[in-house]
Chain A
């Protein structure tokens, strides 16, 4: 069974330029295993445009179009339409960071979603502009240190999965590198849904940006889910469902304290106890809203 769901093939080759412990590279490795060789990737300016390695070589065993920062969803729109016209069906995947998605790329993403192109758009969210040296993005969490928020980010993380769900795309999901089976399952599902943009938001720990030891990537990723900071879910044709471990976290007592997640990362080292308490309150409030959504979606969500 495990062999069937977990392909042995590798599409990211040795010698790529990722930092040790890079969550994004781990995610992309699983994503490509799920999708297989008939896959085009479009990558805007982001860490992965460097991870791919320098011209004329590439560390990826699938065709890659590197494109300007704001342009990835639009480039994928044209690519998917062209492949359809030329009779060469394949997965067209945008692989973009949070800066290229929640900030500068949001307009093109919104347009592509509204037009319903058959694209899988994946945002690997490392919660800041990591490729340029850890500056705040629209996805940086409240109070997190970055080089442009040296005393902590005063604004809240933009909820792009909800924005995408509001576009009535057929599929929205979140993934996390600590749960590879879940990634394979969701990417295969996204690939099987024809017609319409599929949006995947990925939790992507970043050792240099979040200031932790590279050996802790998976531990931090798992803690993000266990503490309820990161929620695993999918929205299929408008129906919200918690998935994986997150299904069991509606009760607060099942969730670990957020402090366990925060304390491993240098970007939160400056927090005072009352700030940690405030973040805990925000996470609890988020789960209260999820409870409402789950109740609204009724029997279907409970049966997941």
Chain B
């Protein structure tokens, strides 16, 4: 197993190289650009035998992959923020058409005002679109989840697109050592080409996406819902299989110091490091705190997560997204997970790190102190 010093964006590109897609299509947007630049290099140097479509917009990037995947090609794209929103319409088309496209989302705030730094509002905007959604907190996880995405998406029981999110700059542009999986080993993990049947074929003419009357439409959507439910099991099985292949342990989420915790933080992404530092600091003071890092966001692991945190007194969600007039998306999901278990834990929904603001251990400790005395259950943390 070789180890390279890679940014999160390069880690994505290396995973794509190793997954050997047939068609890659992308439009540049900061901070995603190095992903597609590196893939372009791989293709032009011959390291990756794929067609690269340099489209004129993100809308076209996803549309091109829909065209490619509909005839059986393995595909990849990556985007961020405004680009993702420009692509939004066809993102729903990809999942509704049941195409196993894989995409990277380098999470970034939305304008105005212009802001290129990290925030997860763009990522969360996809939560109802039918895509399977991973969130990575390091370059290693970007590499790993990108590979796992192909196995999940192309499983004939799933056939839904999958995306991996990771933070702008904190992960996208930060170098760290990344262990790569040898190509020979990957052969046993990623499905062989042609393991799923293309939806369109001249040998067997059919049509994809035509008009469906209400009774047919709800059936098609219900099939999609069932596929998404099956994806939960396929994701778990794929992560286990990947863990035994690499020795890196993955599940729906990671739980640190959870056993005896009476307060648990729930986070996603690169704030894991500083939150863990805070948890260790609080532990050293004798506070019983734990930390959950959510890896799989859709389908959301309501049952598993609810079970893991139902016994705690306080659950503090630190969500990195601008939210107005409601709980954060992550907070809502965690609230549901608790409610579905009938848990009595108190939920605090805290918005942090919007627009690239650093979230430091001291902030997390400050939030911990505030929730212990405050009656507020939902607030923004602005230093």
Which positions in A face B, CB cutoff 8 Å? 37-40, 42, 49-50, 52-56, 58, 60-68, 70-86, 88, 90, 107-108, 110-111, 114-115
Q: B25 at the A/B interface (Cβ < 8 Å)?
A: yes
Which positions in B face A, CB cutoff 8 Å? 22-23, 25, 50-51, 53-57, 59-73, 75, 89-90, 93, 200-202, 204-213, 216-217, 220
In contact, B202 and A62 (Cβ under 8 angstroms): yes
Please measure, in the bound complex, the distance between the C-alpha atom of A230 and the C-alpha atom of B207, giving whole angstroms.
33
| A80 to chain B: closest residue by CB | B67
Instruction: Return chain A residues, CB-CB under 8 Å to B71.
Output: 40, 79, 82-83, 86, 88
| B27 to chain A: closest residue by CB | A111
The residue that B207 contacts in the complex, of A52, A70, A75, A82, with Cβ under 8 A, is A52
Identify the 8 closest CB pairs spanning chains A and B, nearest first: A78-B64, A111-B56, A74-B60, A79-B67, A71-B63, A78-B67, A66-B209, A82-B73
In contact, A63 and B200 (Cβ under 8 angstroms): yes
Q: Given A75-B63, A108-B59 in contact, is the A54-B209 Cβ separation under 8 Å?
A: no
Instruction: Return chain A residues, CB-CB under 8 Å to B62.
Output: 71
In contact, A40 and B51 (Cβ under 8 angstroms): no
Known A-B contacts: A66-B209, A77-B53. Give 9 more (CB < 8 A): A40-B202, A49-B210, A68-B89, A77-B64, A78-B23, A78-B67, A81-B64, A82-B75, A86-B73
The residue that B208 contacts in the complex, of A38, A39, A53, A65, with Cβ under 8 A, is A65
Instruction: Return chain A residues, CB-CB under 8 Å to B217.
Output: 55
In contact, A75 and B210 (Cβ under 8 angstroms): no
Instruction: Return chain A residues, CB-CB under 8 Å to B55.
Output: 74, 77, 111, 115
Please measure, in the bound complex, the distance between the C-alpha atom of A62 and the C-alpha atom of B59, giving whole angstroms.
26
In contact, B67 and A75 (Cβ under 8 angstroms): yes
Instruction: Return chain A residues, CB-CB under 8 Å to B75.
Output: 78, 82
Instruction: Return chain A residues, CB-CB under 8 Å to B220.
Output: 55
In whole Å, how far is A270's beta carbon from the nearest beta carbon of chain B?
34
In contact, B207 and A60 (Cβ under 8 angstroms): yes
In contact, A54 and B65 (Cβ under 8 angstroms): no
In contact, B60 and A111 (Cβ under 8 angstroms): yes
In whole Å, how far is A163's beta carbon from the nearest beta carbon of chain B?
15
In contact, B216 and A55 (Cβ under 8 angstroms): yes
Instruction: Return chain A residues, CB-CB under 8 Å to B64.
Output: 74-75, 77-78, 81
B interface majority secondary structure: mixed
Q: Given A67-B66, A76-B67, A78-B68 in contact, is the A85-B73 Cβ separation under 8 Å?
A: yes
In contact, B208 and A64 (Cβ under 8 angstroms): yes
In whole Å, how far is B212's beta carbon from the nearest beta carbon of chain A?
4
Instruction: Return chain B residues, CB-CB under 8 Å to A115.
Output: 53-55
In contact, A52 and B210 (Cβ under 8 angstroms): yes
In whole Å, how far is B373's beta carbon from the nearest beta carbon of chain A?
51
In contact, B93 and A78 (Cβ under 8 angstroms): no
A-B contact pairs, 21 of them (CB 8 A): A40-B200, A50-B211, A54-B211, A54-B212, A64-B206, A65-B209, A66-B209, A67-B67, A68-B90, A71-B63, A73-B60, A77-B64, A77-B67, A78-B67, A82-B73, A84-B51, A86-B72, A108-B57, A111-B60, A114-B56, A115-B55
Instruction: Return chain A residues, CB-CB under 8 Å to B23.
Output: 78, 81-82, 85
Please measure, in the bound complex, the distance between the C-alpha atom of A65 and the C-alpha atom of B210, giving whole angstroms.
8
Please measure, in the bound complex, the distance between the C-alpha atom of A17 and the C-alpha atom of B204, giving whole angstroms.
22
Q: Given A60-B205, A63-B202, A107-B57 in contact, is the A78-B25 Cβ separation under 8 Å?
A: yes
Please measure, in the bound complex, the distance between the C-alpha atom of A86 and the C-alpha atom of B213, giving whole angstroms.
34
Q: Given A71-B93, A77-B53, A82-B23 in contact, is the A65-B70 Cβ separation under 8 Å?
A: yes
In contact, A63 and B207 (Cβ under 8 angstroms): yes
Instruction: Return chain B residues, CB-CB under 8 Å to A80.
Output: 67
In contact, B202 and A65 (Cβ under 8 angstroms): no
In contact, B51 and A68 (Cβ under 8 angstroms): no
In whole Å, how far is B191's beta carbon from the nearest beta carbon of chain A?
16
In contact, A71 and B68 (Cβ under 8 angstroms): no
Q: Given A50-B211, A63-B200, A108-B60 in contact, is the A58-B205 Cβ separation under 8 Å?
A: yes
In whole Å, how far is B89's beta carbon from the nearest beta carbon of chain A?
5
In contact, B211 and A79 (Cβ under 8 angstroms): no
In contact, A65 and B51 (Cβ under 8 angstroms): no
| A72 to chain B: closest residue by CB | B63
Instruction: Return chain A residues, CB-CB under 8 Å to B57.
Output: 74, 107-108, 111
Instruction: Return chain A residues, CB-CB under 8 Å to B205.
Output: 37, 58, 60-64
| B217 to chain A: closest residue by CB | A55
Please measure, in the bound complex, the distance between the C-alpha atom of A140 and the C-alpha atom of B70, giving whole angstroms.
33
Instruction: Return chain B residues, CB-CB under 8 Å to A52.
Output: 207, 210-211
Please measure, in the bound complex, the distance between the C-alpha atom of A58 and the C-alpha atom of B210, giving whole angstroms.
8
In contact, B207 and A58 (Cβ under 8 angstroms): yes
In whole Å, how far is A18's beta carbon from the nearest beta carbon of chain B?
13
In contact, A68 and B93 (Cβ under 8 angstroms): yes
In contact, A63 and B25 (Cβ under 8 angstroms): no
In contact, B60 and A71 (Cβ under 8 angstroms): yes
Please measure, in the bound complex, the distance between the C-alpha atom of A42 and the C-alpha atom of B211, giving whole angstroms.
14
Please measure, in the bound complex, the distance between the C-alpha atom of A62 and the C-alpha atom of B61, giving whole angstroms.
25
In contact, B209 and A79 (Cβ under 8 angstroms): no
| A54 to chain B: closest residue by CB | B211
Instruction: Return chain B residues, CB-CB under 8 Å to A39.
Output: 202
